[in-house]
Amino acid sequence: MALKKSGLEKKATVHTLRQSFATHLLENGLDIRYIQQFLGHSSIKTTTVYTHISASAVSKIQSPLDRIAEQNHQKKLE
């Protein structure tokens, strides 16, 4: 019923919704260990199956060295 109400035409199951929810949580910054606990998985390997890495999530990753360089640049501008 939820799938019909969503208006999506793509085939999906309850498993699809669970996987999408886990991925959404991860992309919004929730630590995967909390997602593991929330989904009731005893192994982190099971949780990683539910979470797909998206291009937008990967693009947000910043090296600590880049962060330091950016902070130094900001200090110079002040």
Closest CA to 29 of 4, 67, 56: 56
Tokens of 42: 């005893």
Quote the pTM value: 0.57
Please name the residue that has the structure tokens 């390997």.
Answer: 45
Q: What is the dihedral of CA 27, 32, 35, 40, to 10 degrees?
A: 150
- Per-residue pLDDT tens, the chain, 78 aa: give them: 777 787 877 788 888 888 888 888 888 888 889 999 999 999 988 888 877 666 566 667 778 888 888 888 888 888
Residue bearing tokens 């919004």: 28
